[in-house]
């Protein structure tokens, strides 16, 4: 007791100074991280001022002239603003509606399995696709869905149908994106709920069994409320990144013909900024995206804190 007082108690600047001097090495350990976050995160954040400037190559980010909201106006009035927003939100909401509940259901189902060997096998197999790279998954999708020799269309033809041009038909894009994501990540995303289910007090279940509650009833009245806090936290995080449709897979599955359904803000920023070198304009688009996300995160977090007493911070 006395020892811990000596180490972490003490009020006032003087003792803080003494603490810092005695433990200077702890702060030295933090130096690489501080530099890393300053250079690779905070410097770019400071660099978003480019969104309000006209980038001049010779003057760089800091020296270019200010132009106000010009780039934002151009983006909002652009012909593809509506399409970008619709695609970005469309893919996100579709993912959320399908991809969010499935891992929860899967975890509850796996939790109800009594045979340990089967349980392990199911887990090992459903987690596996998570370790494939996005490039590999995109390659598999394109090969499987090929109209001439993909296995999916072979099956459709064998059943008497006409081959479907999945990859160039805009109407299919979002479904392909969402379902392949479910295939790849549902197992992995269920782990966190499995952990929450394992944390539920077994006595609750025992008492319910004594009272004659069926499996479905116990799932509904014990398991679901037990994992609710985890569900809410993950929902907050998901809603908070609703404008962040993962660039990587959309970009790989994108082609000129499915563009009406597949062009999202992140791929647009890449095309305009990195490929087209319109640095100021694409920074403005990116900033618009980040700000919406951040506002959404704060709103959802606040609502959740008021209603459920669960929040990120």
Partner 1 sequence: MNNRLIESRSDKAFDIVNGFLLVLITVIVLYPLIYVVSASFSDPMKVLNGEIILLPKGINLDAYKKVFADNEIISGYWNTILYTLVGTAVNVILSIITAYPLSRKDLRGGNIFMGLFTFTMFFSGGLVPTYLIIRDLGLIDNFWVMVLPGAISIYNVIIMRTYFQSSIPFELQESAMLDGCSNWRILWSIILPLSMPIIAVMVLFYGVGHWNSYFDALIYLRDQAKYPLQLVLRKILVQNQMQQLMNSASESIAQQQVLAEGIKYATIVVASVPVLIIYPFLQRYFVKGVMIGAIKG
Which residues within the stretch 77-136 sit at the binding site for partner 1 (CB under 8 A)? 106, 109-110, 112-114, 118, 121-129, 131-136
Q: How far is the CB of 79 from partner 1 (least distance, A)?
A: 21
16 contacts partner 1 (rule: CB under 8 A): yes
Contact 10, 19 (CB under 8 A): yes
The region of 27-35, 83-91, 168-176, 256-264 touching partner 1 under the rule CB under 8 A is: 27-35
Q: Is 175 in the site for partner 1 (CB under 8 A)?
A: no
Q: Which of 170, 205, 270, 305 binds partner 1 (CB under 8 A)?
A: 270
156 interacts with partner 1 by CB under 8 A: no
- Out of 103, 266, 300, 304, point to the residue binding partner 1 (CB under 8 A): 266
Indicate the burial class of 22 (C-beta count within 10 angstroms; 0-12, 13-18, 19 or more). exposed
Residue 150 and residue 155: Cα distance in Å, rounded? Answer: 9
Cβ distance to partner 1 smaller for residue 178 or 233: 233
Task: Tell which residue, 170, 151, 167, has the closest CA to residue 159.
Answer: 151
In angstroms, what is the C-alpha Rg of the chain?
26
Strand partners, 66: 53
Q: Does residue 172 belong to the site contacting partner 1 (CB under 8 A)?
A: no
Per CB under 8 A, which of residues 193..252 are in contact with partner 1?
A: 195-196, 212, 214-216, 229-230, 233, 240, 247-248, 252
Beta bridge partners of 53: 66
Contact 253, 262 (CB under 8 A): yes
Contacting partner 1 (CB under 8 A), which of 104, 138, 231, 243? Answer: 138
Among 29, 117, 159, 307, binds partner 1 (CB under 8 A): 29
Which token pair is 313? 């911070």
Integer Cα distance of 184 and 121 in angstroms: 16
Q: Tokens 């905070």, residue?
A: 42
List the one residue from 84, 104, 176, 269 that touches partner 1 (CB under 8 A): 269
295 lies in the site for partner 1, by CB under 8 A: no
């Amino acid at each position: 007791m006395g020892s811990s007082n000596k180490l972490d108690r003490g009020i006032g600047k003087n003792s803080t100074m003494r603490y810092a001097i005695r433990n200077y090495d702890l702060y030295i350990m933090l130096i690489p991280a501080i530099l890393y976050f300053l250079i690779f995160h905070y410097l770019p954040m400071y660099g978003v001022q480019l969104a309000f400037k006209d980038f001049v190559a010779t003057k760089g980010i800091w020296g270019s002239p200010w132009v106000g909201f010009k780039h934002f106006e151009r983006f909002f009035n652009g012909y593809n603003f509506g399409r970008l927003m619709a695609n970005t939100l469309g893919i996100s909401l579709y993912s959320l509606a399908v991809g969010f509940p499935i891992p929860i259901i899967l975890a509850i189902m796996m939790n109800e399995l009594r045979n340990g060997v089967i349980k392990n096998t199911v887990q090992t197999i459903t987690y596996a696709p998570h370790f494939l790279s996005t490039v590999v998954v995109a390659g598999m999708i394109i090969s499987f869905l090929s109209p001439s020799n993909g296995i999916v269309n072979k099956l459709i033809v064998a059943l008497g149908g006409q081959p479907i041009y999945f990859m160039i038909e805009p109407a299919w894009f979002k479904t392909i994106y969402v379902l392949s994501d479910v295939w790849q990540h549902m197992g992995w995303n269920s782990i966190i709920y499995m952990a929450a289910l394992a944390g539920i007090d077994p006595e609750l279940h025992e008492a319910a069994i004594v009272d004659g509650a069926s499996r479905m009833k116990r799932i509904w009245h014990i398991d679901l409320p037990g994992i609710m806090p985890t569900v809410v936290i993950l929902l907050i995080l998901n809603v908070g990144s609703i404008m962040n449709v993962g660039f990587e897979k959309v970009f790989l599955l994108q082609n000129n013909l499915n563009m009406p359904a597949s062009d999202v803000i992140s791929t647009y920023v890449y095309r305009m900024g990195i490929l087209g070198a319109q640095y100021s304009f694409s920074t403005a688009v990116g900033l618009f995206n980040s700000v919406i996300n951040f506002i959404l995160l704060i709103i959802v977090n606040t609502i959740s804190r008021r209603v459920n007493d669960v929040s990120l911070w």
